[in-house]
Amino acid sequence: MFENLSDRLTDSLKHITGQAKLTEDNIKGTLREVRLALLEADVALLVVKDFISKVKDRAIGLDVSQHLNPGQEFVKIVREELEALMGEANEDLNLNAQPPAVIMMAGLQGAGKTTTVGKLGKFLKERHKKKVLVTSADIYRPAAIKQLETLATDLELEFHPSTGDQDPVDIANNAIADARRKQADVVIVDTAGRLHIDEEMMGEIKRLHAAINPVETLFVVDAMTGQDAANTAKAFNDALPLSGVILTKVDGDARGGAALSVRHITGKPIKFLGVGEKTDALEPFHPDRMASRILGMGDVLSLIEEAERKIDKQKAEKFAKKIKKGKGFNLEDFRDQLHQMKNMGGMTSLLDKLPGMGNLSQLAGDHLNEKMFDQMEAIINSMTPHERRFPDVINNSRKKRIATGSGTTLQDINRLLKQHKQMQKMMKKFSKKGAVANLMRGMGGMFGGGGPGGGMPPGGMPPGGMGGGMPPKF
């Protein structure tokens, strides 16, 4: 999502960052381009108008800080307004209720409700240690109940069975009673959707809502439907007191219009993003990070969080200590890093989140992923332990041997050694920061200078700093 918008915005802002002075003219031109970029991303017109007028007002009354030039300050305004548009901070689920806390899903058919019930159940179980019970009030399609049952079984969530001849209100009430008996903390009620909004569906969901009075009423909506998503959200929001929105299929080629419109139009926060069909493809939504991502600064904070979850902490700490002590970053460490990256979902998912790398991930495609890691690992494995620790001793004839041993070419060996050098340099530079920050820096460095596939631009991470502050200089 957001690739095009991101490109367009960075392009249009490129011209203004270097400006020492903001004039009526350069503001006007840039604003026009920003406006077009947003419209092309399928952001609702009303939202675009409001956004542009806010940015304009602020740019005109600009109070330039010591650190930024007016052009940079302008970009900062755009970033902050993007963030505000999507809703200032991540809004958690409110589960402060006499247990069980009831969560109700609402949305059109095919939006991803049932899938999201599973994802959210897993999320609450694993990250918040909640005992979760799920039930389906979708009585129109027998397969829908079965679908949830299968999910619940796979994810080891409590499941309250239902049948097509029951009333949705009874199903939900029975499930809540069942949850109380089983001392579950949370009940998630899946509901039926229609292809379009119709009165019957709205009537039923209103009745269900009134009967079970959920603490969270989450509207699930397909991000690929663009600004239409925002309009559907509005219709649901008018009928029901929604507490939040979950945008699904953000992994597809959604243009971003939904994410940028839905908050403004409904006044309700986006709480989660669905980023894939798998049950762990659910991410808490962070407007600030998304704004950075849109402006090509990469979702570095999400990446760090993910790293903290998936990376072997002990190894990472040992590694950080070593670097801090000023010891070199050798090829064995490099191989460890490759392992960690593989654990984190491979190159495509990493590239997506690294600043300015959004587009490259598409180019890189899946084939780059595993194969590239495997190849790099094979190269390092073909070296002697001494060579891994002191790569400088590797001469040309050894390189040829290593290439033969690993089924690669001399070029591959040279590239790997170059990447390693680059990363080593990065490590040194940032050795005073925290452990994980270090790792991430290193990874950024790895993609710099001739990176994988040879076609990546130099630079890696933004010079502006880790996940905050200003966008990279354009």
Name the site residues for Mg ion (rule: CB under 5 A).
113-114, 144
Q: Is 340 in the site for ligand GDP (CB under 6 A)?
A: no
Asked whether residue 193 is marked as a ligand-binding residue, the answer is yes
Q: Confirm if 287 and 70 have CB atoms less than 8 A apart.
A: no
Residue 248 vs 340, nearer CB to ligand GDP? 248
Residue 134 phi, psi (nearest 5):
-120, 155
Q: Applying CB under 6 A, which part among 237-245, 272-280, 395-403, 439-447 lies near ligand GDP?
A: 272-280
Of 346, 338, 292, give the one whose Cα is nearest residue 439.
338
Residue 251 vs 299, nearer CB to ligand GDP? 251
Of 98, 88, 144, 152, give the one whose Cα is nearest residue 124.
152
Report, in Å, the least distance between residue 130 CB and ligand GDP. 21
Per CB under 6 A, the list member of 73, 185, 251, 333 interacting with ligand GDP is 251
Report, in Å, the least distance between residue 117 CB and ligand GDP. 8
Report, in Å, the least distance between residue 190 CB and Mg ion. 6
Residue 28 CB partners (closer than 8 Å, separation 6+): none
Of 309, 307, 327, give the one whose Cα is nearest residue 318.
327
d(C-alpha 205, C-alpha 412), whole Å: 59
Asked whether residue 405 is marked as a ligand-binding residue, the answer is no
Asked whether residue 425 is marked as a ligand-binding residue, the answer is no
Q: Confirm if 48 and 39 have CB atoms less than 8 A apart.
A: yes
Report, in Å, the least distance between residue 114 CB and ligand GDP. 3
Of 289, 253, 377, 223, give the one whose Cα is nearest residue 1.
253
Helices marked H in 382-470 — which ranges? 385-389, 396-406, 410-429, 435-447
Q: Is 420 in the site for ligand GDP (CB under 6 A)?
A: no
Residue 111 vs 291, nearer CB to ligand GDP? 111
Q: Is 279 exposed, middle or buried (0-12, 13-18, 19+ CB in 10 A)?
A: middle
Site for ligand GDP in 277-306 (CB under 6 A): 277, 281
d(C-alpha 116, C-alpha 281), whole Å: 9
Residue whose beta carbon is closest to ligand GDP: 274
Residue whose beta carbon is closest to Mg ion: 114
Q: Which helix (H) or strand (E) holds 218?
A: strand 216-222
Binding partner at 252 among Mg ion, ligand GDP, none, C-beta below 5 to 8 Å by kind: ligand GDP
Report, in Å, the least distance between residue 141 CB and Mg ion. 8
Per CB under 6 A, the list member of 274, 459, 462, 472 interacting with ligand GDP is 274
Residue 85 vs 134, nearer CB to Mg ion? 134
Q: Confirm if 137 and 172 have CB atoms less than 8 A apart.
A: yes
Site for ligand GDP in 78-137 (CB under 6 A): 107, 109-115
Binding region for ligand GDP (CB under 6 A):
107, 109-115, 193, 248-249, 251-252, 274-277, 281
Residue ranges of the binding site for GTP: 107-114, 190-194, 248-251
